[in-house]
Amino acid sequence: MKRFCKTCGAELSETSNICSICGSVYGVRQVNETTVLNQNKMSGVLSAGQETTALNHGNVQGGNSAVLNQGNRVQPHAGITAPHPLAKDQFGAQNAQRSNPAQNRHLQNPYPIQQGAWGKNISQAQPNGQRFVSADGRQMPPYANRQNRADHDPNRFVPGGMAQPQKVPNDLYSLPKQKKLPIPLGAIIGIAVGVLALLITAVILIVNYMSVQPMREALETGNGDLASMVYYEAYGKESKIKKYDRLIKDKINEISNSVNSYSFDQQAVQSGGDAVDEYLQNEYGTLVWNPDGECLEECISASNWEAWTDLNTLLVSKTYYCSGVYEYKTESDYESAIADFSNVIADDSGYDNALTMIGECVDGYIDATLAAVDESIANGDISGGMELLNSAKTYLDSCGVDSTEIQQKIDETLVTYADSYAQKAEASFKEHDVNGAIGNIEVAMQLQPDNADYKTKYDTYQQYLPFYLYDEDNVLAVEDIDANWIHFDTHSISNDNKEMLHVIALGHNSYETTNIYNIQYNLGGKYDTVTGTIFIADTYKSTIQTSYFEAYGDGKLLYTSPKMEKGMLPQDIWFHVTDIQNLEIKFYTRTDSTLWSSEIGVSNLTAQKDFPA
């Protein structure tokens, strides 16, 4: 059977185990092996003059290669070294001569180094799928060719004896099996300790869980009576009490978070403050409040007192919030709603909404107050209206609402109201209703006493106030010459059966025309005209008489009234008194009857400053 060198692929002699080409010992596996097939039936040495060319053909996957004898040419490769120098000493001159590249040029390794996984050159495969074909076209036996690595010595051999042939494995790239290292004793002990610790921890957790199961069940079912009973039974057992306290604190925190994250607005519109109690009973049974028994309050220790107090503070705040929503949205009771919203704490999730609704309620409350103020002022009770405004401010301040904002609101309202009354005063003045103008501007001045413009208007309107000459209080002096009677600011019926108001009536029994009565007034130059109506009283309408008056300004005759006689209808009178300081009116009357007296009447005799055009 033919044998081939596992290093260079050359055919070995039947009598020698050492390759005459590269000096490798047959049967010894190299770090990188190359199997070469030689189709030229070599018998230990090449034929004389015959040169060999090695080509790396075939499937380059897995590092396999084929070497073909292609004729009488030798292509040496720089990567192949000479045979090991010990070959000459151990195996004689013949072997030395065979492995000496200087003497046998054709014995140098003719195979090019391939490139594969180790970063070296790989030759191209034979065309047409012919993997193992020699130069003369004959099919060569398959072989495996491994990559030559940097640490591989192709001339390596085993001195002193022949190596036994070895079978080439199918997978020359398989890695050698690694020897399993024993686990150190310390590691084994550590693992055992860790497992034991986990077991102990699990047992402790299970025991702890089971020991607090009664309290956990009471809390999960929302049974305040059961929780209280379980807690009482644990008195004297400090360890169990501490465990119960932790569970109770967790439940308190859970309730606080749940209540604070829940939106009560919709329920509050219907139920008000009861919405909080309904929620607690639905979600937590009798843990927080139990009208018929005990609750968690009986189980609160010193360590949980702060959390329990915070929960109750939150619940009170939520109750105020819900009550405020009900009073605002359902009852429109702004005053009560403001008071309730003002008690909502900052930690309450509804705090921002409460502030918003306080502002809305303040607007509603002020609007309602101003409506009452308007009605009071309209009825002439200005002081009562102002008292309502001041009371509103005091109330809002007591609720903790920002007094600056409220005061600003009231001030704005007062300004608005004052301005509205000032406008009413101006409208009255344009209609020559001076009394109405003055009355309205007085309201504006009371609402805004520091407004100088209102004071100026008030003084202006005062100048146009009528000076009632029929008012005896406005009389400067009288001269009773021969009057039988005189009446100021009385009322009478005229000869045409009309009621006459604010009448100066004078009577005389003489049948001769005479000056019977003179009246003086201090006008002070403030007025422009005097107006009134002269008439004959119905009582004396059948008397034959002649009655009239004369008006003197500062001693000069200004005006003579119509002479009223039997059958004459009432007559309007009008005359100028501009710049007149002193006005004197002289009344005259006479009758032709010795049986009847005569009487003259003047209605609404008034001095007035002319209104601007």
| pLDDT at 39 exceeding the cut of 70 | no
- Do 592 and 511 contact (CB within 8 A), yes or no? yes
Residues 162 and 254 in one domain: no
Average pLDDT, the chain: 77
Q: Which range, of 90-99, 384-393, 409-418, 423-432, averages the lowest pLDDT?
A: 90-99
Q: What is the pLDDT of residue 408?
A: 73
- In whole angstroms, give the CA distance from residue 599 to residue 542: 11
Q: What is the pLDDT of residue 136?
A: 52
Band of residue 208 on the pLDDT scale cut at 50, 70, 90: low
Between 25 and 454, where is the model more confident? 454
Q: What is the pLDDT of residue 499?
A: 94
If you average pLDDT over residues 562-567, what whole number do you get?
91
Residues 163 and 273 in one domain: no
If you average pLDDT over residues 571-594, what whole number do you get?
90
| pLDDT at 250 exceeding the cut of 70 | yes
Residues 10 and 155 in one domain: yes
Residue 538 covered by a domain: yes
Residues 74 and 116 in one domain: yes
| pLDDT at 133 exceeding the cut of 50 | no
| pLDDT at 145 exceeding the cut of 80 | no
Residue 312 covered by a domain: no
Q: What is the pLDDT of residue 497?
A: 93
Residues 225 and 159 in one domain: no
Which of 300, 320, 346 terminates a domain? The answer is: 300
| pLDDT at 115 exceeding the cut of 70 | no
Between 23 and 521, where is the model more confident? 521
If you average pLDDT over residues 114-129, what whole number do you get?
40
Q: Is 12 left (phi over 0), alpha (psi -120 to 50) or beta?
A: beta
If you average pLDDT over residues 56-71, what whole number do you get?
38
Residues 527 and 472 in one domain: yes
Own/partner long-range contacts of 342-349 (Cβ < 8 Å, ≥24 apart) = 342/399, 342/400, 342/401, 343/316, 343/317, 344/317, 344/320, 345/313, 345/314, 345/317, 347/260, 347/314, 347/317, 348/260, 348/314, 348/317, 348/318, 348/321, 349/260, 349/261
Q: What is the pLDDT of residue 402?
A: 65
Q: Which domain holds residue 581?
A: 467-608
Closest among 393, 251, 254, 275 to 324, alpha carbons compared: 275
Residues 159 and 260 in one domain: no
Residue 282 covered by a domain: yes
Q: What is the pLDDT of residue 209?
A: 55
- In whole angstroms, give the CA distance from residue 233 to residue 249: 19
Mind listing the pLDDT tens digit for each residue in 429-442? 999 999 999 999 99
Q: Number of structural domains, the chain?
A: 3
User: Which residues, other chains included, contact 455 with Cβ-Cβ below 8 Å and sequence gap of 6+?
Assistant: 445
Q: Dihedral of the CA atoms 84, 85, 86, 89 (nearest 10)?
A: 140
Q: What is the pLDDT of residue 91?
A: 40
Residues 224 and 291 in one domain: yes
Residue 567 covered by a domain: yes
Residues 85 and 34 in one domain: yes
If you average pLDDT over residues 385-393, what whole number do you get?
82
The total number of residues written for the chain in this structure: 613
Residue 356 covered by a domain: no
Q: Dihedral of the CA atoms 194, 197, 198, 202 (nearest 10)?
A: 180
CATH of the domain at 492: 2.60.120.1060
Q: What is the pLDDT of residue 113?
A: 40
- Do 95 and 141 contact (CB within 8 A), yes or no? no
Q: What is the pLDDT of residue 142?
A: 44
Q: What is the pLDDT of residue 70?
A: 39
Residue 553 covered by a domain: yes
Q: What is the pLDDT of residue 178?
A: 58
Q: What is the pLDDT of residue 176?
A: 57
Q: What is the pLDDT of residue 412?
A: 79
Which of 300, 315, 347 terminates a domain? The answer is: 300
Most confident of 40-54, 224-238, 380-394, 458-472: 458-472
| pLDDT at 403 exceeding the cut of 60 | yes
Band of residue 32 on the pLDDT scale cut at 50, 70, 90: very low
Percent of residues, the chain, with pLDDT higher than 90: 43
Q: What is the pLDDT of residue 181?
A: 65
- Do 26 and 165 contact (CB within 8 A), yes or no? yes
For 389-541, strand residue ranges (E) read: 467-468, 477-480, 485-493, 499-508, 514-522, 529-535
Residues 230 and 168 in one domain: no
Q: What is the pLDDT of residue 21?
A: 77
- Do 604 and 533 contact (CB within 8 A), yes or no? yes
Between 330 and 152, where is the model more confident? 330
Residue 233 covered by a domain: yes
Q: What is the pLDDT of residue 239?
A: 86
Residue 487 bridge partners (DSSP): 505
Residue 560 covered by a domain: yes
Percent of residues, the chain, with pLDDT higher than 70: 70
Which of 249, 284, 300 terminates a domain? The answer is: 300
Band of residue 385 on the pLDDT scale cut at 50, 70, 90: confident
Residues 233 and 169 in one domain: no
Q: Which range, of 37-41, 311-315, 317-321, averages the lowest pLDDT?
A: 37-41
Residues 152 and 242 in one domain: no
Q: What is the pLDDT of residue 60?
A: 36
| pLDDT at 607 exceeding the cut of 50 | yes
